[in-house]
Amino acid sequence: AQSVTQPDIHITVSEGASLELRCNYSYGATPYLFWYVQSPGQGLQLLLKYFSGDTLVQGIKGFEAEFKRSQSSFNLRKPSVHWSDAAEYFCAVGMIKAAGNKLTFGGGTRVLVKP
């Protein structure tokens, strides 16, 4: 079965510093990969997605992610963090086989931004 691991439960970063959130997946075929962001008490918003092609994907709010097949990773990055980036971030993998099409989510990484 496929799985998604986000090794960092919490990350604290200073405003203006760079941010990288890790995501590793276990899946037998080429994955469909997503990053979502969730503000407290809210739903999830899609930041970016990777289906195929260029392995460096640009998203909204200045985020980007890089798909590395050899490392089974899809890490999210932002060069300069703003206080409004404090939220929880979820990586997800989509599978196109099995009973229906669905996403498997990682456990999430909560980002705290220091002034």
Partner 1 sequence: DGGITQSPKYLFRKEGQNVTLSCEQNLNHDAMYWYRQDPGQGLRLIYYSQIVNDFQKGDIAEGYSVSREKKESFPLTVTSAQKNPTAFYLCASSIGGVNEQFFGPGTRLTVL
Residues at the contact surface with partner 1, assessed by CB under 8 A: 9, 32, 34, 36, 41-46, 49, 90, 94-96, 99-103, 105-108
Toward partner 1, which CB reaches closer, 32 or 77?
Answer: 32
Taking the CA atoms of residue 97, residue 101, residue 102 and residue 104 in that order, the dihedral angle to the nearest 10 degrees is 20
Q: Are the beta carbons of 57 and 67 closer than 8 angstroms?
A: yes
Nearest distance from residue 83's CB to partner 1, in Å? 22
Toward partner 1, which CB reaches closer, 13 or 95?
Answer: 95
Taking the CB of residue 50, how many other CB atoms lie within 10 A of it?
20
Closest CA to 37 of 17, 25, 24, 21: 21
Toward partner 1, which CB reaches closer, 75 or 104?
Answer: 104
Nearest distance from residue 4's CB to partner 1, in Å? 8
Nearest distance from residue 16's CB to partner 1, in Å? 28
Nearest distance from residue 13's CB to partner 1, in Å? 20
> What's the maximum distance between 2 C-alpha atoms anywhere in the chain?
46
Tell me the C-alpha distance between 63 and 76, whole Å.
Answer: 7
